[in-house]
Amino acid sequence: MIEQVNQPSEEMIHQLMAIWLKTNQEAHPFVAASYWLEHEEEVKEQLPNATLFITKEGDKIEGFLGLQEDYIAGLFVEKRSQGKGLGRQLLNKAKKEAAQLTLAVYKKNEQAYHFYISQGFQVIKEQVDEETDEVELILQWTE
C-alpha cells in the first residue's frame, strides 16, 4: 500500500536518506560515489518540502517517490524489493496527483529509462548534467 507523507519524521527521513544514497550508488556506478555524499545534506533538507509517496513492509520503508509539483525528483526502491511492482505503484500514485509529470534520468541508467518508457513517459530533451558530465534525458508523461 502506498502512503502519502507531507511531514516526515526524523526517523522516516533517516530511512529515506539511506535508501536514496544506496540506490543512487547502485544505479549509477558511472557517477563518483562522492557526488552522492556531497548532495546528501541538500536532499535531506528538500525532503520535507516534497510530496512523498512511500511503500512499507511493516515499519521498514521499501521505496519512495518524491514529487515537487509536477516534477519527480526521484523514485527509489530498495534492491531487495525490486521486481515486485512497487515502482509502478508509486508512479501510478504520482500520476493521480498531476496531469503531467517530468523527470530526469541518466542515459546510462538503462533500467530506469526503459521502466519510465514502459510507463508512458517520452523523451522531450537530452542534455549534459554539468556536475557529473553525464548525458541525462528529460522525460515527460501527460495524462
Query: What domains appear along the chain, each with residue ranges and CATH number?
Result: 2-142 (3.40.630.30)
- Give the pLDDT mean for 129-134: 95
**Of residues 59 and 22, more confidently modeled:** 22
Residue 85 pLDDT exceeds 90 = yes
- Give the pLDDT mean for 32-43: 93
Q: How far is CA 27 from CA 18, 20, 99, in A?
A: 14, 11, 28
pLDDT of residue 6: 86
Q: What is the maximum alpha-carbon separation in the chain?
A: 40
